[in-house]
Amino acid sequence: MRLALLVPGPFDAVSGGYAYDRRMVAGLRAAGHAVRVIELAGRHPLADDMARQSAAMAWEDLAADETPIIDGLGLPAFGALSDAMAARPVVGLIHHPTALETGFSEDQRALLRAAERRLMPLLAKVIVTSEPTAERLVADFGVRHERISVVVPGTEDAPRRTATAALPCHILSIGTLVPRKGHDLLIRALARLTDLDWHLTIAGAPDRDAVHAHGLRALAEELNVARRVTFAGEVVDGALEALWQQADIFALATRWEGYGMAIAEALKRGVPVAITAGGAAGGLVPAEAGAVCPVDDLDQFSKALRRMIFDTSLRAYLADHAWKAGQALPGWNAQAGKFAAALA
């Protein structure tokens, strides 16, 4: 196959969605398929003039025998190309609908929803990263079920985290500093537990929503827990693995996940998790591997964290089951093969 992935740049951005895209491109190339990555300029998903112009130029640059794959983050920029999309087999790679992204105004979300409801039904095939996302596309965005393939992310082999009883209890959260990731709820939940010895590290890029990122730091100051919270910024490779190996608990108060790659990485290392059940996140975690609370339920989330921080024997039990669950997760090679099959 000859394929062209159209995705907002930079393609080396640190996020679960971009990591998935890079893995699929690498897997397809390794299997002998020709894959060209076209980075879209401009602002996404609230497309500006530059984004729309970049989408138009990328479309014009497609070869006749290339199958275009449009990453969902860039899909709204193709609004003026709906007739051309309807006339050609186009694949959508939808991590989650951008209309579900928190942090936008209601007017902005309405614009995104309208664009996605208009464009998604035109896609010949749609690849999503979880069943909940597939269900949402059918129910709310007019995508026919038979056009959808679910290809969940893979995981790499990773060393098991060896738990200790040392204090403080190290809590790790990974996710871009945007409202959808719920870092505000996590900070508020932990601020109720100042009688316990804990330290939170949040690893995530702050530049996607600088106002929200600044607000998180201000919130930690306001709640008198700033000394207990480290904003590590964008962390990758060995530095990220070092954080994993220090972590006693992985926590994420997410409001929506198309899958939840960081949660899967926690399980892979035997790190117990405390999360909220946003999107597909809750379905990843067996009851014996952590705590799954309702979205935005501050009381339940704080209580779950209290139990896990306080009770080291409970954490050890959860860690054993997290490790078992993590070993059953699929690898990237297998998922790249499923991705290729979905395109065929």
Q: How far is CA 300 from the centre of its chain?
A: 23
Please tell me the pTM assigned to this model.
0.89
Same fold across 2-154+331-343 and 169-327: yes
Burial code of 301-319, b = ≥16 C-beta within 10 A, e = fewer? bbbbbbebbeebeebeebb
Beta bridge partners of 97: none
Number of H helices, E strands in the chain: 12, 12
How many residues are present in the chain?
Answer: 344
267 three-state secondary structure: helix
Q: What is the pLDDT of residues 240-284, one digit of tens each?
A: 999 999 999 999 999 999 999 999 999 999 999 999 999 899 999
Would you call 82 exposed, middle or buried from its count of C-beta atoms within 10 A (0-12, 13-18, 19+)? Answer: middle
Class of domain 2-154+331-343 (CATH, top level): alpha beta
Q: What is the pLDDT of residues 182-225, one digit of tens each?
A: 999 999 999 999 999 999 999 999 988 999 999 999 999 999 99
Question: How many angstroms separate the CA atoms of 253 and 274, rounded?
Answer: 8
Q: Break the chain into its structural domains and give their ranges.
A: 2-154+331-343, 169-327
Q: What is the mean pLDDT of residues 58-75?
A: 97
Question: How many angstroms separate the CA atoms of 160 and 320, rounded?
Answer: 10
Class of domain 169-327 (CATH, top level): alpha beta
* CB distance 253 to 202 below 8 Å: no
Q: Where are the alpha helices (DSSP H) in 154-259?
A: 183-191, 210-222, 237-246
Q: Mean pLDDT score of the chain, rounded to an integer?
A: 95
Of the pLDDT bands very low, low, confident and very high (cuts 50, 70, 90), residue 167 is confident
Q: What is the pLDDT of residues 22-56, one digit of tens each?
A: 999 999 999 999 999 999 999 999 999 999 999 99
59 three-state secondary structure: helix
